Structure 1
Amino acid sequence: MNRAVTLRDAAVAEMAGIAARHPQQFRAMPPARLRALALFLASTGLLVFGLWRLEFSPSRLVDGFGQLVHFLGLMIPPDPGTWSRTMLILRGLSETLAIALLGTLGAALLAFPLGFLAAWNTSVNRLVQFLSRRVLDSVRGIDALIWALIWVSVVGLGPFAGVLAILTSDIGTFGKLYSEAIEAADRKAVEGVTASGGGKLHGIRFGVLPAVLPVMAGHVLYMFESNTRSSTIIGIVGAGGIGLMLSEMIRTLEWGVVSFIVLLILVTVAVIDTISGRLRAALAGARAG
């Protein structure tokens, strides 16, 4: 205790010297803290401006919440109406699942070589890697709903346009995820293949692929789950699936049918999430083993 007091007294006595040696620490507002404060104030100002510019109104929000409660009351109980309509809803749901599955698998296969071209450790050269990255960024920068509108204009209404929209949108996402997984792969296996006389392609085949395939499979499972929801949205613009029926039911104010469709979508997504989560856990365990 006495030693601690002695050290404190010595530090107080040397305060002037310490301040002279470390002036940055004794400023009233260090530059780093000043920059953080300026960034906080700028972000707050931007938030306030955005709320004002977008005409945010607490009263409108409260009124809208009351309206939402009213609509929820109209949606209870869920009721498809007739058996024939139930079959149409189930058919639309199966079409949505087919769109998500085909679009996801098609994108996963097409993005596979692009992922290797976009990764720095497997690409042909820096120029090819740069161009591959920019192409993937450009494709990924356009939302699936926009792609759906484009493909509906190109190939017409129907699930084919939905498959193409999901496929095109996911190529960019898969390519980025694949390239990051490839770049993060352990280099020791590749070095071992190279040391035994293998070339670059042998290193990719026997060193990189075994490490990244489980990761890629996990990405595909997750995107299939996500695309099940996306396929519902793109169906609203005429790209097939249950989304078009959901839009029609909302337009005609048949809230019982709307709640039945929404509940069916939620159950389907929950089941897919459970199954894909277990498969991803199994793949992660197999990779760790």
Structure 2
Amino acid sequence: MNITQDQIAKARDRVPLAFQAPLQVRVRRYALWVCFTGLFCWCLYDFNISPARIWEGLGRFGTVASFMFPPYIWTSWAEFSEILNGLGETLAIAFLGTVLGAVFAFPLSFLGAKNINRLNWLRLSTRRGYDVIRAFETLILALIFIRAFGLGPLAGILAIAVSEIGTFAKLFSEAIENTSNKPVEGVKASGGSRLQQIRYGIAPQVNPVIMSILLYNFESNVRSGTILGIVGAGGIGFLLSDRIAAYKWGEAWSIIFLIIAMVYVIDWLSGIVRQRLIGKTDLAK
């Protein structure tokens, strides 16, 4: 039986309370909105965020932005090679940190997957370990490793790698849990061992997802590598911080533009790789 809109309108006019949420639900909803609004306003007041302060800050930002134009153009190879070396160093830090994090996270992800690890205490302990690692921000890890290993790219690589172990292990384990059990049952029915079930039943399903996660996080780590350079972990961030500290705003803007261009190229290339992986997966189906 189909109910028309006219019938619904007549029923709403006849018994309007039947189309409303219960009183308790409405009161709870309004109370949550009041608490949210009050918390938001209190944060604005406590942090001294006022229209006058924002307007004054925008004026100062306009002054700083005017110092950046025209952008600086390097006239000698010695100057420009230093910038290119910083960009390459940042790219290498992000690449090595991502690869090292994935190498250690991949086996740990199987311990946190419900369809692989049947021991609840071990699986839950492993997952809490993911959370502990992810609780440390990459910048904090970089400061710790700088104190331990000194200034340079090594601290940045280790900071990204350790941070990505928790992130990759969590994402990989969730991807493994979301795989279909039918291919595993097929391998099992043909006499395959537990390792073969994972190799031929789960891995083909999860590999494109893992590769997509790796490519996306590599892009993100390139941006993170820039920030890590500012605190002394090597890369283009160190050169950018040096130019800003010396009030060389034109050169700083040129470095920022090169960073944006590098991130754009990496995003474009990783998009092509993702598209080809998805295409291969579709053809396999």
Could you tell me the TM-score, scaled by structure 1's length? 0.89
Shift in Å, 1:192: 1.3
Q: Which residue of 2 aligns with 1:229?
A: 223
- The answer as to 2:32 corresponding to 1:39 is yes
Q: Which residue of 2 aligns with 1:109?
A: 103
Q: Which residue of 2 aligns with 1:94?
A: 88
Aligned mates of 1:67, 1:224 — CA distance in 2: 34
Q: Which residue of 1 aligns with 2:237?
A: 243
Identical aligned residues as a percent: 45
Q: Deviations over 1:2-46 (max 9, x none)?
A: xx9xx89x979xx7xx89xxxx84778532222222111111111
Shift in Å, 1:92: 0.6
- The answer as to 2:256 corresponding to 1:266 is no
Of residues 234, 247, 252, the one that matches 2:246 is 252
Q: Which residue of 1 aligns with 2:150?
A: 156
**C-alpha RMSD of matched pairs (Å):** 2.3
Letter of the 2:69 counterpart: I
The change in CA–CA distance for 1:63 and 1:213 in structure 2 (over 3 A counts) is: same
Q: Which residue of 2 aligns with 1:85?
A: 79
Shift in Å, 1:198: 2.4
The change in CA–CA distance for 1:236 and 1:28 in structure 2 (over 3 A counts) is: closer
154-163 or 193-202, which moves further after superposition?
A: 193-202
Structure 1 outlier segments of 4+, above 4 Å: 26-29
Shift in Å, 1:85: 2.2
Q: Deviations over 1:189-229 (max 9, x none)?
A: 11111222223222211111110011101111111111000
Shift in Å, 1:72: 1.3
Aligned mates of 1:11, 1:228 — CA distance in 2: 59
Q: Which residue of 2 aligns with 1:196?
A: 190
SS in 2 for 1:261: helix
The change in CA–CA distance for 1:162 and 1:27 in structure 2 (over 3 A counts) is: closer
Aligned mates of 1:25, 1:101 — CA distance in 2: 59
**Higher CA-based Rg:** 1
The change in CA–CA distance for 1:65 and 1:11 in structure 2 (over 3 A counts) is: closer
Shift in Å, 1:81: 4.6
Q: Which residue of 2 aligns with 1:132?
A: 126
Q: Which residue of 1 aligns with 2:50?
A: 57
Q: Which residue of 2 aligns with 1:168?
A: 162
5+ residue gaps, structure 1, are none
Could you tell me the TM-score, scaled by structure 2's length? 0.91
Q: Deviations over 1:254-280 (max 9, x none)?
A: 001100100000000000001101111
Aligned mates of 1:117, 1:213 — CA distance in 2: 17
Of residues 207, 217, 224, the one that matches 1:213 is 207
The change in CA–CA distance for 1:227 and 1:48 in structure 2 (over 3 A counts) is: same
Aligned mates of 1:11, 1:100 — CA distance in 2: 62
5+ residue gaps, structure 2, are none
Shift in Å, 1:244: 0.9
Q: Which residue of 2 aligns with 1:282?
A: 276
The change in CA–CA distance for 1:238 and 1:195 in structure 2 (over 3 A counts) is: same
205-214 or 119-128, which moves further after superposition?
A: 119-128
Aligned mates of 1:157, 1:276 — CA distance in 2: 30
Aligned mates of 1:82, 1:124 — CA distance in 2: 63
